Structure 1
Amino acid sequence: MLILQRWEPIISPTFPAYIPFWIELQGIPLHYWQKDLYSIGEELGGMMKYEITSTTARIKVLINGFQPLVKETIIEYLDGAESIVSLEYECLEIHCRFCYRLTHDTYKCQESRGEG
């Protein structure tokens, strides 16, 4: 992951806070794709755009890089039915597979050390 920002004499402690990611959504019934993409994107941090093809639904959202990644969510439909939706982040390389944070890799995770 590479982020470019104009140089400033003092770097904010929250840099880089928001990072754009494309996310493929898996588990949404086809007839709900259009309706639920926006609400999922807004819940994750901020919807930028979406793409729907005959086989996939993807959203581009701004993710707070200091918060754990959301890997699945539950969608509740008006008829009372629910779906578990898996979120597959595209081009996601090094991150912690234990706590799902972007700030470190799995080997440096403080939370995993308590799991002895």
Structure 2
Amino acid sequence: MCGETQKKFRALVIGDGIFQFIFPIEMDATRVLRGKPWFFDNHYLNLERWKSEIHPKHYCFNLTPVWVQAWGIPFQHLSKDVGVKLGLKFGGVDEVIIPNAGSRDGCFLRIRTYLDVSQPLKRGCMIRFSTAPPTWVEFRYEKLPVFCRYCGKVGHELLSCDKRFLDLEDDSPGPVQYGDWLRASPATQQGRRQ
């Protein structure tokens, strides 16, 4: 964040894993909030604007904006409307981008939406078009930090997964359903060509 601000900011510890960032210029605070998502040590750093009437323990830091790529949509159905419908499966939609046709990267939509970090990553979904059979659309996440290949949640890895540990204790481990395929290739991320 420091490279984005005009003046130095301060950070205060105000709770367990909760910090308050103080910017001397309002424009810097606004720029940092608009620049989300932010990362620290390969984890999301979820930011919310400070409200003096809300106690720090009542803030909800579960949602972070992300770019999700939707792959597998038939070419004739690549549209912003389809992107909005897919983005609503995450909660809200800020923007939908259709990459240039004829790209070596393939046919996909980029959707800026909100990821609930308390829930498993969505691997994809079935969509139905009136002129085609149901189609599986695969989701890939841009700049995806640490996540668990067992439970699908961000913030920890397989070896430190509580769910996996409990399932192993009960002799009922499930299959690993998440993998690196959830990470979007840097080549398909806007402004990040190899």
Give the TM-score taking structure 2 as reference length.
0.53
Task: Kindly state the Cα deviation for residue 102 of structure 1 after the two structures are TM-superposed.
Answer: 1.7
> Is residue 2:45 matched to residue 1:2?
yes
- What is the Cα-based RMSD across aligned positions, in Å? 2.1
1:95 is matched with: 147
Classify 1:36/1:112 alpha carbon distance in 2 versus 1 (closer, same or farther; 3 Å). same
Decide which of 35, 39, 45 is 2:85's aligned counterpart. Answer: 39
Q: How does 1:30-109 map to 2 (within 5 A)?
A: 30-34=75-79, 35-53=81-99, 54=101, 55=103, 56-79=108-131, 81-109=133-161
Gaps of 5+ in 1: none
Of stretches 20-29 and 77-86 in structure 1, the one that deviates more from structure 2 is: 77-86
Structure showing greater Rg: 2
* One-letter code aligned to 1:49: E
Task: Kindly state the Cα deviation for residue 41 of structure 1 after the two structures are TM-superposed.
Answer: 0.3
Task: Report Cα offsets for 1:4-51 as digits up to 9, x if no partner.
Answer: 333865323x63121101011110011111141111101121111011
Task: Kindly state the Cα deviation for residue 100 of structure 1 after the two structures are TM-superposed.
Answer: 0.9
**Higher RCO (CA-CA < 8 Å; seq separation 6+):** 1
- SS of the residue corresponding to residue 98 of structure 1 reads coil
Task: Report Cα offsets for 1:40-96 as digits up to 9, x if no partner.
Answer: 101121111011122441101012111111011111111351111110000001011
* One-letter code aligned to 2:113: V
Contact conserved, 1:46 with 1:63, CA < 8 A, in 2?
no
* One-letter code aligned to 2:87: G
* One-letter code aligned to 2:91: G
